[in-house]
Structure 1
Amino acid sequence: MDGAAIPTVLVTNDDGIDAAGLRLLVQALVSTGRCRVLVCAPASDQSGVGHGITWRHALPAKPVNIDGATAFAVAGTPADCASLGVSGALFNGIIPDLVLSGINIGSNCGYHIVYSGTVAGAREAFMRGVPSIGLSYDWVASRSSTHDLKLAAESCLPIINSVLNEIRNKTFPLESFLNVDVPTDVSNHKGFKLTRQGKSMIKIGWTQTSSGVSIKGDATANMYTNDTTDTEKISSSSPAQEQRWYKRVVRVTDTNSEKEEEGNDIDYQALQEGYITVTPLGALSCSEIDTVPYFRGWLLHVIDNSCSSSL
């Protein structure tokens, strides 16, 4: 990015191009007048698809009218959209300076990050060498409103503007990307807090249903709640047909493992305390570091046993 040029920001998400979160984030960016806004987002809701990509067929990209932005709806995943958006192929050679994925309706913390299409969009851009931020709002159906979502998008502007300044100064670290979560009571948030990814996750059960009707409502928004309200009829016995249908049921959010971790800088815990959490993430797993000594000895044992059994 040239020091005198206005930066270009690409926006994607996993809730789909018509989602309120994306539209409000674009609106907030455009209102600042500090960047050129491009949008490349899924044509339909892709919540919970993780980092899946489309490999076997071409993807259609349809122009969409969004005030102040150049936008395309793509029949693909968030990772597809981020990859296409930063490639230069979609926007006539333009490579964005920053990619924003969100703002998601529902938080993305702990192990839930693995499932998140929102985080995957940011991760894909990061893997392609473009600085990126995943943005999520801890939506609670009984409390949250579109106005809260608007405030959440606006509350992220200081982070976004600061990152753009770092990019302009060539001081933004390219070894990681950021995952930002905004608390439910956004109007009374306690400020920004640097956090680490914790181990919180949703305990999922399965129940047999009478048909293959999809669960109504936004899947991501309900992931961290116990709300399992559905219009489907629950069947306690096997249906007459040979084919059976099963659906996921959210049991409870397991935060016990997170509470056992040391420090008060764990993402989900800090989010519930009212902070806007800022978590640096990467694409490489570091879990092997602590287990390398064990597996080194284990593998030698496997080799010894293999040699002995071949005699």
Structure 2
Amino acid sequence: MNHANTFSTVSAETLKASLEKTPAAVLIDVLPGDHFRAVHLPGAVNACVYEVTFPQQIEAITRDLDASVVLYGAGAGSLDAAVAAEKMLRMGYRRVAVFEGGLAAWTAAGHPLEGEQPDSAGGPEPAFLFEDGTYPVVPEASLIQWTGRNANGRHYGTVSLAGGSARVEGGEVTGAFEVDMTGIRNIDLKGDALKPVLIDHLNSDDFFFVKRFPTAVFTLRAVIPLDDATPTAANYEITGNLTLRGISRSIRFPATVNRLADGGFAAEAHFDIDRTRWGVIYGSARFFRHLGMHQVYDVISIEVRLVFQD
């Protein structure tokens, strides 16, 4: 079958027959090197399409623009091999085919595999699942960033995470995390004389009244898995209470939680809060008139990355 992008596609049986011919087509696995070492089709070589050096990897395999090449990747639902074919066509290679079924179809057909773990072809990457236990947060590896705005632009910075932990029991996730409000920092005004003025204002009773309320606390109430989530999208919905300036309000937001390569796991979230729900009303036109240059938008954007010990 010819593809609209001018590369052809082959079936598992056609590919198997082709590989038994002499000379056989150059068979290229386009998945990452560690995956290739674990499992690959017999006779395949590797060039990872996700790496910026993919063109150089292809040239190291063959510089013959008329070489017969078959590319394969994970299989249905993954565009890895198609993207690799498009890259090769732009490089000038003329006889490029894609085994669209990839590892999944080859395995389903019962054909042999090679590699260090030839039985590990499997399906999609497994979803992250919480296991029972207590997981302390690692403050120095975590991040809380804020962005506030007005008509003239925005200011952004960080606030310090003091500590906390998540507890998983019977699939239920709870926990609490303390924020050191005395650790408010600004990033965008570095070197500007207005920076200490802004920090003093944020610490004052106009905003977070840090002298009276030096900490904020997020209490985790529920972590609900989202249907059909992928590892690069939000896979959980987080519900909890944020206590700020002595006022507790419920919030809900999506988060992406994934296992880390060196152990533990990380939760990432990006969401907005209406600061006026916590009594931070300075500059809000919902509460004041004739603000002029003192208008401050109600919404604050929050970016959170929490790293947990396993």
> What TM-score comes out, normalization by structure 2 length?
0.27
Q: Kindly indicate which of the two structures has a greater share of residues assigned to strand.
A: 2
Work out which of the two has the higher radius of gyration on C-alpha atoms and give 1 or 2.
Answer: 2
If asked which structure has higher relative contact order (CA below 8 Å, sep 6+), I would say: 1
> What TM-score comes out, normalization by structure 1 length?
0.27
